[in-house]
Chains A and B, each alone.
Chain A
Amino acid sequence: MARAAAACRSGFPEIAPPVPDGRAGPSGDGDGARTRGDVTGSGAHGDFPRIGRVGLDGLLVSFGDRLSEAGNRAALAFRAAVERETPAGVEESSTSLVSVFLRIDALCTDPGAVARAMQVLLDSRDWYAEPLPEGRRLWRIPTVYGSDLAPQLGEAAAEAGLTPEAAMAELSRARMRVQTIGFAPGQPYLGELPAHWDIPRQQALTDRVPVGALVVAIRQLVLFSVSTPTGWRHVGQTAMRLFRPEAEVPFVLRPGDEVIFEAVGREAWERLRAEASDGGATSEAIR
């Protein structure tokens, strides 16, 4: 939750040394290269982690430029540390696949000073070696693959070089991990499928997929929490409601949770949808 914004007691020093912001342009300084923070840890992660700016009041702590299990763990652990330490000026934090976003109260706190504090925190340990979050759960979510409910199974299977039957078998057995919640409320990005699932998004967007749609691209699955246009291919349909604004727990899944999208027949799915909450989805603690 957002921390209450502390009132500015006085203006902070007018111009503090800003974080390099990749400023590029006719009046710019430098070559527009991406911001580099000091490299911490081993050289295994190249120029990462590094700290950059997002807009006027955002900092981005990046642990890689592509999805990796270690980068994802690092981002989750770093955000947890930020939430524990509640550094001055940080109003809110979130993670995406391999990065942590910090929203700064830029009018009260110099974002450059926050960035320096974050650098100290980055340097304090090897974030890529941190464990996954506590309290993770394994979810089993009954899923209809293909049919008129999820019309792009065949197309996605062909992209992955599989028959629809083989694709369904693989997807329904895969134990996928929630790497981030984002884009839409409560919506998980799950990874990571085998390399042959590195299939592109479609050129043209599908007009609208329903709530509970399971879609695939670039070795990831997304389970849609809202009805929306998408470039990902719709391969399965669930009856899961991931965002319940009226409920005590409005957002169901958490980063680190694991999900198996178990295949069920159309009739069984319809029955579960009618009779069980969330179409028969269950969860258990991961020990």
Chain B
Amino acid sequence: MSRALIVHQAGPGVTVQDLGREGYLAFGLSRGGAADRLALHEGAALLGQSPTLAALEMAGTGGTFEATEAMRIALTGAPMRASIDGAALVWNAAHLLPAGARLIIGPATAGVYGYLHLGGGLATPEVLGARSAHLAAGIGAPLTAGDRLPVGPDRGGETGLMLVPEERVSGGMVRIVAGCQTGLFDPAEVARLEQTEFTRDARGNRMGVRLNPEGAGFAARGGLTVLSEAIVPGDIQITGDGAPFVLMAESQTTGGYPRIGAVLPCDLARVAQAAPGTRLRLRFVPMDEALAAERRAAEARKTLRRRVARLTRDPHDIRDLLSYQLISGVVAGNEEE
């Protein structure tokens, strides 16, 4: 098992992520997993493999990588400057990474979390049923230079494929639902939440993202703290200074700050991918509308493979031929299902 990805250099927030661990809420361990779950589905569609396979999540910037043998890769999520041995790579696309070549992934040009997927997926050891690093729980750690990550066997397929992603790296409208603590806030406060423009604070990570209101902060009638209750990803806590704090994949499992609502799961990537300074708005939707939106998102994930298309490039640009190579031994025409 020498098939591996070698890390020569890594930014501070590069971790192995999959869809996380379910079933441990009663033990105080939140699901965790990729901050932008849709990106895992997109990478899986580009490589024609399962979305449950682990990938590298890169917060803000990537690193320098090398493969021990030729591998298919896909790049999704926040677009980052990427190149193989100096040849620029298209984001939201699948490419071939030749053995020994240098894959350099630089800073994000929009959004926060970029993803590097490998044909066969990362095959690091599972902990409690998943490969995701959960830094808050002390599971796994950010990657550092010298790390060598095992990569699973790849059943092969084409490269030189691309996918137009659902736009989610520039902020905008985020849909939320009311919950059993929304009533702790005066209706006027709740109305003001919808009318307020928010800016994503510089403070934000896999646990939560702070949103700065353009005007005054928000407050519940009963004061600062309530009885500690279960938290779900997307819950919007109103903390001490009145700024909403959206709880993300790696949040704690319980919290004692009042929650004014919760972001729909299908809109949570929009919050995760809002870079500091990005503007966001929150809009309440009724539960039935929320469920319908979630159902549409689930349907859209199923159509991702059908939406994969060939990269079309100038054939005279010789360096780009890299993107069109097939893994040797793999029959072309191995179409997406």
Contact = CB atoms under 8 A, between A and B. Distances in A.
Contacts of A96: 227-230, 254
Interface residues of B, number: 56
Interface in A105-139: 106-107, 111
Contacts of B138: 185, 226, 243, 245
Interface in B175-190: 177-187, 190
Nearest to A255: B26
B320 interface: no
B177 A35 contact: no
Given A22-B181, A55-B235, A99 B230 contact: yes
Contact of B180 (A1, A21, A111, A183): A21
Given A65-B227, A183-B254, A184-B252, A22 B28 contact: no
Interface in B22-66: 22-29
Interface string B222-237: 0001111110111100
A246 B254 CA distance: 24
A265 interface: no
A98 B294 contact: no
A21 B290 CA distance: 13
Interface in B238-288: 252-255, 262, 264-265, 284, 286-288
A234 B249 CA distance: 28
- Most B-side CB within 10 Å, residue of A22, A28, A93: A22
B232 A22 contact: no
B284 A183 contact: no
B313 interface: no
B284 A97 contact: no
A34 B307 CA distance: 44
B262 A92 contact: no
Contact of B178 (A15, A22, A95): A22
Given A18-B288, A53-B177, A186 B28 contact: yes
Nearest to B290: A56
Contact of A181 (B28, B178, B227): B28
Interface string A19-30: 001111111100
Nearest to A111: B287
Interface size class of A (residues with CB under 8 A): 35 or more
Contacts of B265: 55-57
B295 interface: yes
Contacts of B202: none
Contacts of B183: 22, 24, 31-35
A225 interface: yes
Interface in A177-226: 180-187, 189, 201, 225-226
Interface of B: 22-29, 127-128, 136-139, 177-187, 190-191, 193-194, 225-230, 232-235, 252-255, 262, 264-265, 284, 286-288, 290-292, 294-295, 298
23 contacts: A1-B23, A22-B179, A23-B286, A24-B183, A25-B193, A27-B284, A32-B178, A54-B235, A54-B262, A55-B234, A56-B234, A92-B22, A94-B230, A96-B227, A97-B227, A103-B232, A183-B228, A185-B24, A185-B29, A186-B29, A189-B228, A228-B136, A246-B127
